[in-house]
């Protein structure tokens, strides 16, 4: 497995002829969800292609300094997991390798980022778009794999690729969950034991509302009320947002007439977790 820590080293590793390259961008603290993305990337790259993983805790997408300071960064373990998974190339730069002190260019999305995480985390998606387009430029990848857990991030990256004519295919992978339904996240390891035991209620709260859909309900309000009650029954969590949005535009809706997404973000102490459920009329 090849390892690069600077853009210059990465360009050197990528120099010369090569087969199809599929990128899996991550912030490290790799878990089985990330490894599922790596497996999907291998399928997309083919046996002769390259699977590349980037490991970079992107500082400009964090809206809370404490979240950045506490984000797990077990690089040695991450590299071992990449090696065991058959990754061909890992790019693990530090902040100074990715951002010059006087950087003055930021990529901004102005429509899909107005709701959900974009509304409660100012500047977050500017940071996401900026680092992702830098990675696309550096790797010149044929395709990139992203998880569906962050449904808004996936939609924004697809929009950026479309609007800027970026020559990269975006491959989505379904959310990978723990045995109790909690969506896998690098932040899960920061949960206190009692919070970890309670956290599967996030998925249950969203999934339980499907019974309303089966009964013919289409107004968004009952779905949101049912999910909110289930979440608020917890003595530990605080709701950041709970919204029903159109699956394509991510705009809030009052009635389910097209595919919709019910999305939530909650806090357990300082740990912020997200999840969503797609509802089809």
Which residues are the active-site residues? 34
DSSP string over 50-65 = EEEEEE---GGG-S-H
The whole-angstrom separation of Cα 26 and Cα 212 is: 36
The whole-angstrom separation of Cα 220 and Cα 263 is: 12
Q: Name the strand (E) or helix (H) holding 197.
A: helix 193-198
The whole-angstrom separation of Cα 50 and Cα 45 is: 6
The whole-angstrom separation of Cα 183 and Cα 191 is: 13
Query: What tokens does 229 get?
Result: 């009650």
Query: What tokens does 5 get?
Result: 């820590």
Q: C-alpha distances in angstroms, 190 versus 113, 140, 198, 270?
A: 27, 34, 14, 9
Angle subtended at Cα 173 by Cα 93 and Cα 39, rounded to the nearest 5 degrees: 65
Backbone angles phi, psi at 130, to 5 degrees: -65, -45
The whole-angstrom separation of Cα 108 and Cα 208 is: 35
């Amino acid at each position: 497995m090849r390892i690069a820590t600077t853009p210059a080293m990465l360009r050197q590793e990528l120099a010369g002829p090569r087969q199809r390259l599929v990128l899996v961008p991550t912030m490290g603290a790799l878990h089985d969800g990330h490894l599922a993305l790596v497996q999907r990337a291998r399928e997309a790259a083919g046996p002769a292609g390259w699977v590349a993983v980037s490991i970079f805790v992107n500082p400009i997408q964090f809206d809370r300094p404490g979240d950045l300071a506490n984000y797990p960064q077990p690089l040695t373990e991450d590299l071992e997991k990449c090696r065991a998974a058959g990754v061909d190339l890992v790019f693990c730069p530090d902040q100074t390798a990715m951002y010059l002190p006087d950087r003055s260019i930021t990529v901004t999305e102005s429509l899909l980022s107005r709701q959900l995480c974009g509304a409660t985390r100012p500047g977050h998606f500017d940071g996401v778009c900026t680092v992702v387009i830098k990675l696309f430029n550096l790797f010149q990848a044929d395709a990139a794999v992203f998880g569906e857990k962050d449904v808004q991030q996936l939609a924004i990256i697809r929009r950026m690729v479309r609007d800027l004519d970026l020559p990269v295919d975006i491959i989505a992978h379904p959310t990978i969950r723990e045995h109790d339904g909690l969506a896998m996240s690098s932040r899960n390891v920061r949960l206190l034991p009692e919070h970890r035991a309670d956290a599967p209620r996030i998925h249950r709260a969203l999934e339980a509302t499907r019974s309303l859909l089966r009964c013919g309900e289409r107004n968004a309000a009952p779905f949101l009320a049912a999910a909110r009650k289930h979440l608020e029954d917890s003595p530990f969590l605080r709701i950041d947002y709970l919204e029903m949005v159109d699956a394509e535009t991510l705009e809030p809706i009052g009635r389910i007439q097209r595919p919709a997404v019910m999305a939530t973000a909650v806090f357990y102490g300082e740990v912020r977790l997200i999840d969503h459920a797609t509802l089809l009329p």
